[in-house]
Chain A
């Protein structure tokens, strides 16, 4: 029987899809609340009336006063209120503090939960929550399919420290301009905002163009290139998660050196040689693909140094370690 841990990757896909759907649902609720507050059903256009009817059907079993009762969850993954608890992306806090040159204690408090979770589980926001990850991973799968049918896809490599430079430059520019510039180039913030624009305001903005360009960058230049080389949020989460408590480790006794884990890792890490580092987002794709269940979660603040070839691998057996 396969261990349950192998199914974590499926759970992760459910999480990513669920969060994306919530990001679509929230502006729908917001618009519906506005219509209810206006008491203006008769003034709505036919498509708006249809929208109203659908939302009323969906929410009626759960709330009696939609104008006020549907306020439990508001916002996006950039900043949100969840049952009166304010939660904010740590990058939003870094950006705001840089732009305002002032510490905002309540804002710091809003980032406390994500920071603690990152200190515990590492870059888990990137792998399990980020709405852009869902689209980037679908895009990677598209690239793999295009590659199979013989079309060229991007496989260039850059220095992954580039994203730390982007983070640093973003902080400096925010301090100079007084604007939270990260919000303009940070895919999760862009997606939340653009979905809201599309549903509540009837069209996409410039952020959608930027996000499409990042998809093309991933497809034509470097696999998962934006997350690996550019994303300032990924850089911040990597730094926070450097000494994460929970990390994936290889059981060298059961590893057969098939290298599927290394091939499937979209962040170009090397699980087969114990190379996880601070970049790992605990996505568990390597665990799901491992045929010998040699990858497991361990509580440890450091990776194990390279343990050498897997004991079930041909290289290990031929050299009689």
Chain B
């Protein structure tokens, strides 16, 4: 990623705003846009992808497969959204999700005998902020902060005692 997501349209536009991500991969400069920028469950949306060569700007004219997976740890279940050919140099892939969540859209294509895979984030609606890993991390942080705060007056003597026994073996 070259930077934070930016947005291609301003407040005066009659078109819904799109989230746009730009990245470089191999020989290609890839732009990815989501319409609308903040899609909701059961609302049709669209991914537009544009890929052009970095050296001469020539657009990619093969086919691009769009896959989607849930953006959760240890999840490898991937679903094919569709395979698209370019329409005016843009690969357009429609979608409609039934549930809110964080998803990863993977665009795959092959150029010059090399396979390309690019992952882009896609947020649908308002997903739950805390997954199992987030809850674990939060619990550890709360434990660390609580113990350190409550025991702050005894920590130095505890550390000295613990350190001495640690060295004693």
Selected from B11, B37, B102, B166, the residue in CB contact (under 8 A) with A155 is B166
Selected from B19, B102, B158, the residue in CB contact (under 8 A) with A144 is B158
A196-211 interface (Cβ within 8 A of B): 198, 200-206, 208-209
Selected from A47, A141, A145, A202, the residue in CB contact (under 8 A) with B123 is A202
B2 to chain A: which residues have CB within 8 Å? none
Q: Known contacts A44-B38, A142-B148, A203-B71; decide if A223 and B166 are in contact (CB<8 Å).
A: yes
A141 to chain B: which residues have CB within 8 Å? 147-148, 151, 155, 158-159
Given A43-B36, A263-B161, 20 more pairs with CB closer than 8 A: A30-B4, A31-B4, A34-B7, A38-B37, A43-B17, A138-B147, A141-B158, A145-B147, A145-B154, A147-B162, A148-B158, A155-B169, A202-B129, A203-B71, A205-B73, A209-B73, A223-B162, A262-B163, A263-B160, A289-B160
Give chain A nearest CB distance to B36 CB in angstroms.
Answer: 7
In whole angstroms, how far apart are the Cα atoms of A31 and B38 in the complex? 13
Chain B residue at smallest Cβ distance from A153: B162
Q: A-side binding surface: helix, strand, loop or mixed?
A: helix
A139 to chain B: which residues have CB within 8 Å? 144
B6-38 interface (Cβ within 8 A of A): 6-7, 10-11, 17, 19, 36-38
Which residues of A are in contact with B by a Cβ distance under 8 Å? Answer: 30-31, 33-34, 37-40, 43-48, 135, 138-145, 147-148, 153, 155, 198, 200-206, 208-209, 212, 215, 223, 259-260, 262-265, 268, 289
Contact (Cβ within 8 A) B5 A203:
no
Contact (Cβ within 8 A) A262 B147:
no
Selected from A143, A200, A264, the residue in CB contact (under 8 A) with B160 is A264
Contact (Cβ within 8 A) B38 A145:
no
A206 to chain B: which residues have CB within 8 Å? 73
B160 to chain A: which residues have CB within 8 Å? 260, 263-264, 289
In whole angstroms, how far apart are the Cα atoms of A263 and B163 in the complex? 4
B80 to chain A: which residues have CB within 8 Å? none
Hey, what's the 0/1 contact readout for B136-169 against A, CB within 8 Å counting as 1? 1100100111011001001110111111111101
The 3 closest A-B pairs by CB, nearest first: A263-B163, A45-B126, A144-B158
Contact (Cβ within 8 A) B167 A268:
yes
Q: Say yes or no: is B82 at the interface (Cβ < 8 Å to chain A).
A: no
Selected from B6, B72, B156, the residue in CB contact (under 8 A) with A289 is B156
Q: Known contacts A30-B4, A260-B160, A264-B159; decide if A204 and B148 are in contact (CB<8 Å).
A: no
Q: Say yes or no: is B44 at the interface (Cβ < 8 Å to chain A).
A: no
Chain B residue at smallest Cβ distance from A139: B144
Contact (Cβ within 8 A) B126 A37:
no
Chain B residue at smallest Cβ distance from A201: B121
Q: Say yes or no: is B134 at the interface (Cβ < 8 Å to chain A).
A: yes
16 contacts between A and B (CB under 8 A): A34-B5, A38-B17, A43-B36, A45-B38, A135-B144, A147-B158, A147-B165, A155-B166, A203-B72, A203-B102, A203-B131, A204-B134, A209-B133, A263-B159, A263-B160, A263-B163
Which residues of B are in contact with A by a Cβ distance under 8 Å? Answer: 4-7, 10-11, 17, 19, 36-38, 71-73, 102, 121, 123, 125-127, 129, 131, 133-134, 136-137, 140, 143-145, 147-148, 151, 154-156, 158-167, 169
Contact (Cβ within 8 A) B10 A264:
no
Give chain A nearest CB distance to B126 CB in angstroms.
Answer: 4
B129 to chain A: which residues have CB within 8 Å? 47, 202
In whole angstroms, how far apart are the Cα atoms of A206 and B37 in the complex? 27
Selected from B4, B140, B154, B164, the residue in CB contact (under 8 A) with A212 is B140
Contact (Cβ within 8 A) B126 A47:
yes
Selected from B72, B140, B154, the residue in CB contact (under 8 A) with A215 is B140
In whole angstroms, how far apart are the Cα atoms of A265 and B167 in the complex? 11
Give chain B nearest CB distance to A184 CB in angstroms.
Answer: 15
Contact (Cβ within 8 A) B7 A38:
yes
Contact (Cβ within 8 A) B166 A138:
no
Selected from A34, A145, A204, A263, the residue in CB contact (under 8 A) with B164 is A263
